[in-house]
Structure 1
Amino acid sequence: MRTEDLHAELVAELADTAWLDTALETVARQPAAIARLFPAAGRRCGRGMLSDHGRIPPGWSVDDAARVLLLAGLPRESAAAEVEQLYRYGDAAEKRAVLRALPLLDLPPSVVEPLLLDALRTNDTRLVTAALGPAARHLDAAAWRQGVLKAVFMQLPLAGVADLDERADAELATMLGGLARERRAAGRSMAADATELLHRLQERVS
């Protein structure tokens, strides 16, 4: 996803872009201003869903887009410190926007990975889903597998897991197989997409 496409989608959704335009100009000149502008995005731009025109992934809200654009507009030298603070002190919607912005920011793994791991430790479906999106490329194989297993356990759609077929391996198949057996023993079943993934992996390694 490109910031240009995200900006175009957001502008098309807003009746008035004055606040957004001013906010983007402000954070580019005064990065610390994002501490007050980032939380205000929902109130100033709205929290409805963006229309799906195929240029951005489905499920993005207006405030998601505004916050991600603010983060993408930060000067590179200020981005890491601001991102960490905004995630640490943000509410769930603000944390999700930080996670969604990570693929668009040039941040070192030492900044990105702890945020993803923190999100995967929560039981908030919004944060787990966002952490397994494109930014999950920063997770090592073990952490990524655990994230996918948690998504299956929480019955989240696996379509939202970035690079699933490319990264799924025999170890993930073993983990999914164990979960499937536990579910069967409890008289429960795994979601259809997880069962299909398990079958694909088993066929791949057989």
Structure 2
Amino acid sequence: MSDWTAQAVQDIEQHPEAIYRLFPQAERRGGAQARARLLAGADARTVAELYRRGDAGERLAILRALPGLELGFDALPLVEDALRTNDARLVEAALASSRWLDDHAFRQAVLKCVFMSIPLASISELDRRYDAELARMLADYAAERQAAGRQVPQDVLERL
């Protein structure tokens, strides 16, 4: 942990509201993992507020940190928000926390990944949550692509 990050963590422990000032500068001043370290002790409300206020880089750091935070279903609104974006980095990062999505939302997220050319291999829990309905949806997608004379992504074909 860098000196800056260690000091920032200590400042946040003493004054929790300091996270709102320190989090945006954390990566630049403390390195790639600094933001995740600052989030480690944050509650769900604080993480959600940081996400709401954050730019794409800050949101990405929060989404990547979610699996290691103990937010439970309080993380779901952040995952859902990221899945509504057209930023492939945010969508892919959100799917690392796919355990909070219900089956319908999970299937829709998988299809969004296919449309955005995000590799299926990057979707956590895909093997466990792959079901007949998702197989049907992917088969329909592949059939539409083939009927239009378009290529079907290899990772989709491998799932059929």
Same fold (TM over 0.5): yes
Give a deviation string over 1:139-188, Cα, whole Å, max 9, x none. Answer: 11111111011001111112211011111100001110111112112221
Partner residue, 2:61: 97
| Contact in 2 for aligned 1:180/1:190 (Cα 8 Å) | yes
Counterparts in 2 of 1:17-56, with a 5 A limit? 17-46=2-31
In 2: Cα distance, 1:28 partner to 1:82 partner: 13
Identical aligned pairs, as a percentage? Answer: 53
**1:83 aligned onto 2:47:** yes
Letter in 2 for 1:82: T
Give the TM-score normalised by the residue count of structure 2. Answer: 0.94
In 2: Cα distance, 1:28 partner to 1:137 partner: 30
Structure 1 runs of 4+ with >4 Å offset: none
Q: Unaligned 5+ residue runs, structure 1?
A: 1-10, 12-16, 47-61, 200-206
Counterparts in 2 of 1:153-168, with a 5 A limit? 153-168=115-130
Give the TM-score normalised by the residue count of structure 1. Answer: 0.74
The alignment's C-alpha RMSD in Å is 1.3
Q: Which moved more, 1:156-165 or 1:24-33?
A: 24-33
Letter in 2 for 1:172: L
Partner residue, 1:69: 37
In 2: Cα distance, 1:140 partner to 1:185 partner: 31
